[in-house]
Structure 1
Amino acid sequence: MRADFVELLVASGAVDALASLFALHDRPKQDVEPVPPAIIAGLRMLEALLDARVPAPGAELGEDHAAGIRSSSGAAAKPATSIVTDCESPAGSLIAALRETALAGLPSLLTSVLLQTEATLRIPVLQDPAAAARALPPNFVGVASSVLRLLNATARFGPEVAQDALSSPDLRVETHHLLSFILALCASEWDSAVANGAEAEKRRKSGKSSTDAPGEGRSDNARATAGELEDLLDQTVLFIGAFALLCPANQDMLCWGRAPTLMQRLPDLPFEYYSSPEKIAVLFPTLVSVAFGHATNRRLIAHELSLEMVRDFVREEAEARRDGKPGAAQRAGLPPQFAFAARFPRTLWGDASEYFEAA
């Protein structure tokens, strides 16, 4: 979109109108229904607005994001500035609109779907993710991926933009519930999606129609392909890192609730996220962000995974940077927004390496 047209749309209340559109899906319904085309079109419009204004993917986090570190305790405080400030035009008006509308009501859009599903099942969705997956709208995974992609786009203005917009108590509860369920959903559906996808591919290569394969190569309950679940999980892990970065309140939030907490789910993702170089590059910057300066989260990683693995990841990234070599995300062919320097301030890499030394 042209810059002046985007500014006109924002000034005319486009973000507020989109938030109102998304809120329409929160009305009580008899049954769980697919997310309607009008809302999907609204998500595409918001994506176009953001794409026209957000910094390019992969922009490195600067020293401003390290300014809040309290050296006396090793804990992180919330940074005071963002990559693009509200006073800058035309991006500033879009940032202000996003803050005023809680990121256009994106988390609430998905939360309304989960609440409707719980009303249908009469049990919490986290109690039985497989049953919830069967009851969810058939387009939930795709819509959730779009929403998380938009949330990550807002974080490219600076992680604190998303942190501030979702800082109210009710929105933090919504965000916690939503992220917890998405991790649980992807973990519960992953194996069947991979197995059914492999079976469908085998049938295709043998000359049989892939539509005859069980589940058409999709997971047993959510009816999602392995690629769709992978995209949703990658986007969710990316957002959790931005949401928790140098923000003690949000790092605390990861430990809310009964086990498994949101923090405990991160070291319990599909095995590929700890064995595949590509998935390690997706997950480990988030592990650094959620645990740096937070003793409880650090202890959990030490217990559930390994501090040495996290420390070695940071050191390898620093060595690659020093030697002029590509980092893990670039070597794996990931989009630039997954680069470590775009997710954790480079000025803190040395501190992080020391912080994750084994106790």
Structure 2
Amino acid sequence: MRWPLCNSAARGDNVQALVVALKEERLAGLTSLLTNILLRASRSGSIAMADAVALPCNFLSVALMAFRTLCNALFLDVEAIQGLLRAPDLCMEVYHLVSYLLRFCLARICDEREQATEELLDEVVLFVGLFVVCNPRNQDVLLWGKSPTILQLLCEFPSSYIRDPLRLETLLPTLLSVCYDNHCLLEVNTTGLFVERPLLPFFQDVLESSVELPDQQEERSFSNRHALENRFPRELWQSASEQLCEHVYPS
């Protein structure tokens, strides 16, 4: 499963060598780095209890660059990096990091709109979509743990985020990847009203505009990294649309 890389300059003979290096170095230890930072900020030894006040002043920028790197690695070879992140220790780190960062970012943007926090939230949302797309085992991670699960957090974004078209262009393709071909996740997704409003209309609009020329599609996109065609295989669009319609309008 591959689709066009968001950065065409990254294509070439060195891409596979880079992916191999990332696998051998376990993604440069990025998930372990963030995990250790959060553990040091937690008196109980639990990432979930990390005190935001105790985090280093550069935590937002470090976390942003770490998740941006993880997303770029997934864009290079989504299946290879998904498989690497499925390793028991890395998968557990991913679960705890995503769960904490979603709660951390959502709490901050509800209190005060902050660009750095919103950028980190966008990157975490983008990462989740790439982590689970067409991968049932990784999809299951979104239901781990106590409520609110990662999936529930994704379905409970504040209205200030949902009203922003640029933010929706990040969130909705992730939700599509989350619930595609997974009835259980689709059911939970429905509770957040994203299947009927606005995920289904969004996806139908994308299908209708898929006949546009590539440069027209690029112009309407917030970023190539966030565009649906770079995050969900085009050959599955029709199938995904049918699944959403069947769930929203059961016969």
TM-score (norm 2): 0.89
Please give the alpha-carbon distance, in whole angstroms, between the structure 2 residues aligned to 1:305 and 1:135.
Answer: 35
Aligned to 1:239: 127
Paired position in structure 2 for 1:305: 193
Percent of aligned pairs sharing the same letter: 34
How far is the alpha carbon of 1:58 from its aligned partner? 5.6
Q: Which residue number corresponds to residue 204 of structure 2?
A: 315
Unmatched segments (≥5 aa) in structure 2: none
* Counterpart among 132, 135, 151 of residue 263 in structure 1: 151
Which has the larger Rg? 1
Cα deviation for residue 56 of structure 1 reads: 5.2
Distance 1:103 1:124 in 2: 23
Deviation at 1:160, TM superposition (A): 1.4
Conserved in 1, the CA contact under 8 Å of 2:179 and 2:185? yes
Given that 1:315 and 1:353 are in contact with CA atoms closer than 8 Å, whether structure 2 keeps it comes out as yes
Quote the offset at 1:339 in angstroms.
Answer: 0.6
Relative to total residues, which structure has the larger helix share, 1 or 2?
2
**299 and 232 in structure 1: CA distance in 2 versus 1, 3 angstrom threshold:** same
Cα RMSD after superposing both structures: 2.2
Q: Return the match for 2:46 from 124, 138, 154.
A: 124
**Pairs within 5 Å for 1:1-359:** 57=6, 89-118=13-42, 121-122=43-44, 124-127=46-49, 132-194=51-113, 226-308=114-196, 309-324=198-213, 326-327=216-217, 330-331=219-220, 334-357=222-245, 358=248, 359=250
1:114 deviates by 1.0
1: CA distance between counterparts of 2:66 and 2:124? Answer: 10
**SS at 2:109's partner residue?**
helix
8 Å CA contact 2:39–2:45 kept in 1: the answer is no
Return the offset for 1:102: 1.7
Query: Contact 2:109 / 2:117 at 8 angstroms: preserved in 1?
Result: yes
Deviation sequence 1:240-259 (CA, Å, 0-9, x none): 00000000010001100000
Residues paired across the two proteins, number: 241
Alpha-carbon distance, 1:175 to partner? 0.5
Displacement of 1:123 in angstroms is 6.3
> How big is the shift at 1:324?
4.4
Q: Is the 8 A contact 1:151 1:239 kept in 2?
A: yes
User: Secondary structure, in 3 states, of the residue corresponding to 1:356?
Assistant: helix
User: Does the 8 Å CA contact 1:311/1:352 hold for their aligned counterparts?
Assistant: no
CA shift digits 1:2-24 (9 cap, x unpaired): xxxxxxxxxxxxxxxxxxxxxxx
